[in-house]
Structure formats: C-alpha cells, structure tokens
C-alpha cells in the first residue's frame, strides 16, 4: 500500500477525518468503553450431555454476551490459550468503520493470534441491533467459540416497538466427532460427509439420548445439559434477540403456544409481522417480541 497517496487520495480522506473529529467531540459525552478480558482454551464440556473437547471463553461456551450502546467502544483482550492452534475472532455484522484491521478475518485483515499471545480488539459498535461473534480460524467456530453481541440504541433514542425485558438466544448445531476428524473427511479426495449434527443447542444446551452414546462419556443429569430456562413475568413482553451460528443446519425456532412478533432483522428494524415460528439460517439474527400471555401455571417448550 502506498502510504502517501497523491492529491486525489488525500482529498478523499480529509472529509472522513473531519467526520471522525466531529463525532469524537460530540459523541464523547455519552460513549462508553466496554472492556472484557478473555482466555480462549480447550476444555471438556457436555453441552448436550455427551462429553467432548470444546473451545471455551473464560471456561464457557457460548462465550459471554457483549452488551453495549450504539457509539460505544468495545475493547477485548483475547488470550490464545489453545496451546497448539492459532486464533482470530470475527465480529459478525459489526461494520468496523475505520478499524478494518479488527474485523478478525484471519489471513485477510489480520495475522492470527499465535498460541500464548494476547491480541486486543478495539472497535465501535455503530448501529443498534443483534449481532454475534465467532472464531475465524479453521473449524474453531464449530468447536464452540461463539457468542452474541447486543447493541442498544443510544440514550434518548426510542425504538419503534415496546418491550419490558430483553434476552439472548443463540442457536447452534453440534457434532460429537471432533472438528479435526470432520475436516480430514471433508478435505480428503475421498470426501466424507460430516452427517447430521448429533444435537441442536439453544444457548449452548441440548439433550442427546445417552443410551446411544456408545463408549462415550454421557450423563443425562449433568447440569451442563439441563435445558436453558427463560423465566417470565406474566403479562410482560420479552424481546428475544436470536442468532444462528450453525455450521450446516437451517433452523426453525418456536415457542409452544406463543406467537412471535418480528421487529428487527440483521441490525435493521422491520415493519412488525407476526409468526408462529421463525426460519433462521446461519449468520442471521432476529429480534422477536414474545408476550407472556398464556396460563402461568404451566411451562412452555421452546424448540428448534
């Protein structure tokens, strides 16, 4: 890259520079910095009761939900504790205006974070809505390195719909075979299909039938695979910010006995429309409103 472009390039850059200065001075009153320190490591996990090695952030998969207001800066120190693998994290849907080098696409916008090294991602979330993050190195995303990003509108800005509470729902598909074996099969001349996933996970939890676990370690009572429970207050409206990070599966999400009002798709507000269930493909995000209006004396299953 030419660091000293000619007159045309310079002229094109100046308005952007002014814009940044103006927004920095007007936005500095409210804009906050959200700092997180992550350690990315392999751990044995049983998201669907079947134990396998999974990639975790601070011991968890999915990783922590990032919650920030539009205009805020997110700063994440990512330590690669995978020991024998490189690492990069992509912030899906975040436009990285002015910070393309923090997009996390390894081999395109950054060199990978090597084992034992720490890399600091620093970027502005510039548009409210539902987003997600995931590993962008080999098949690490499929091994459990993912999470949700929720960007709230800036203070004083009212959204075109009303709700009482918001909750995160992140959906994934899950294989018991490790990602190395999957990759060897998929990459070999003698192509071997990965097959259907063993489980679908809602907020990192699913239920595999341990009777079919063969010689694998599987405990149906392991708390890691107890279903995610969304406790609601009768009469209140919940905004569910839903993302799908699947490797293969097209999903359909439904809450028994409840309709869902779609109000946001991929970071854009939409004219609200009601659905009984939601088709969601990998990489997509939705906000739906769910009113807790059914008989409170019983439970209702959410299913994918």
Ligand X SMILES: *[C@@H]1O[C@H](CO)[C@@H](O)[C@H](O)[C@H]1NC(C)=O
Tell whether residue 190 is a contact of ligand X (CB under 6 A): yes
* Cα atoms in the 13 Å half-sphere on the side-chain side of 253: 26
- List the strands of the sheet with 277-280, edge to edge: 277-280, 251-255, 302-303
Please identify, using beta-carbon distances, which residue of 4 and 301 lies nearer to ligand X: 301
Tell whether residue 25 is a contact of ligand X (CB under 6 A): no
Closest approach of Cβ 142 to ligand X, in Å?
A: 22
Site string for ligand X, 238-257 (x = CB under 6 A): --------------------
**Residue 215 DSSP label:** T
Closest approach of Cβ 173 to ligand X, in Å?
A: 19
Closest approach of Cβ 212 to ligand X, in Å?
A: 5
Please identify, using beta-carbon distances, which residue of 43 and 226 lies nearer to ligand X: 226
Closest approach of Cβ 177 to ligand X, in Å?
A: 14
| CB neighbour burial string for 174-195, b if at least 16 within 10 angstroms, e if fewer | bbbeebeebeeeeeeeeeeebe
Find out whether 115 and 131 touch, Cβ atoms under 8 Å: no
Query: What are the DSSP E strand ranges found in 175-222?
Result: 199-202
CA–chain centroid gap for 295, Å, is: 32
Please identify, using beta-carbon distances, which residue of 185 and 283 lies nearer to ligand X: 185
Tell whether residue 231 is a contact of ligand X (CB under 6 A): no
Please identify, using beta-carbon distances, which residue of 25 and 188 lies nearer to ligand X: 188
Please identify, using beta-carbon distances, which residue of 212 and 226 lies nearer to ligand X: 212
The verdict on whether omega for the bond into residue 134 sits within 30 degrees of 0, i.e. cis, is: no
Q: Where are the alpha helices (DSSP H) in the chain?
A: 7-27, 179-187
Which parts of 193-222 interact with ligand X (CB under 6 A)? 209, 211-212
Closest approach of Cβ 191 to ligand X, in Å?
A: 8
Please identify, using beta-carbon distances, which residue of 128 and 182 lies nearer to ligand X: 182
Q: How many residues of this chain interact with ligand X, rule: CB under 6 A?
A: 4
Closest approach of Cβ 210 to ligand X, in Å?
A: 8
Find out whether 254 and 171 touch, Cβ atoms under 8 Å: no
Closest approach of Cβ 190 to ligand X, in Å?
A: 4
Please identify, using beta-carbon distances, which residue of 193 and 273 lies nearer to ligand X: 193
Please identify, using beta-carbon distances, which residue of 58 and 209 lies nearer to ligand X: 209
DSSP SS3 for 118: strand
Strands 165-174 and 237-244: parallel
Which parts of 53-72 interact with ligand X (CB under 6 A)? none
Q: Which two tokens stand for residue 59?
A: 């011991």
| φ and ψ at residue 35, rounded to 5 degrees | -105, 135
Tell me which residues touch ligand X (CB under 6 A): 190, 209, 211-212
């Amino acid at each position: 890259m030419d660091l000293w472009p000619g007159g045309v390039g310079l002229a094109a850059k100046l308005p952007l520079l002014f814009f940044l200065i103006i927004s920095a001075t007007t936005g500095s009153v409210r804009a906050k910095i959200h700092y997180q320190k992550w350690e990315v490591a392999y751990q044995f996990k049983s998201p669907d009761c079947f134990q396998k090695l999974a990639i975790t952030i601070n011991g968890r998969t999915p990783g922590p939900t990032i919650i920030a207001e539009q205009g805020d800066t997110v700063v994440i120190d990512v330590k690669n504790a995978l020991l024998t693998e490189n690492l990069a994290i992509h912030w899906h849907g975040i436009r990285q205006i002015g910070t393309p080098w923090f997009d996390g696409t390894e081999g395109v916008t950054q060199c990978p974070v090597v084992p034992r090294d720490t890399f600091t991602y620093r970027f502005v979330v510039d548009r409210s809505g539902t987003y997600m993050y995931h590993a962008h190195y080999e098949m690490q995303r499929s091994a459990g390195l993912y999470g949700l990003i929720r960007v709230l509108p800036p203070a004083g800005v009212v959204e075109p719909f009303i709700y009482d509470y918001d909750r995160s729902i992140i959906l994934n598909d899950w294989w018991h075979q490790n990602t190395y074996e999957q990759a060897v099969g998929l990459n070999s001349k003698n192509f071997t299909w990965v097959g259907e996933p063993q489980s679908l996970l809602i907020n990192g939890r699913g239920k595999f039938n341990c009777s079919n676990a063969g010689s694998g370690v599987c405990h149906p009572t392991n708390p890691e695979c107890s279903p995610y429970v969304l406790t609601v207050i009768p009469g209140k409206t919940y905004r569910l910010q839903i993302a799908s990070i699947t490797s293969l599966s097209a999903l359909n999400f439904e809450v028994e006995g409840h309709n869902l009002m779609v109000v946001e798709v991929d970071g854009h507000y939409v004219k609200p429309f009601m659905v009984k269930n939601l088709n969601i493909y990998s990489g997509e995000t939705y906000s739906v409103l769910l009113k807790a209006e059914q008989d409170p004396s019983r439970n209702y299953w959410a299913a994918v």
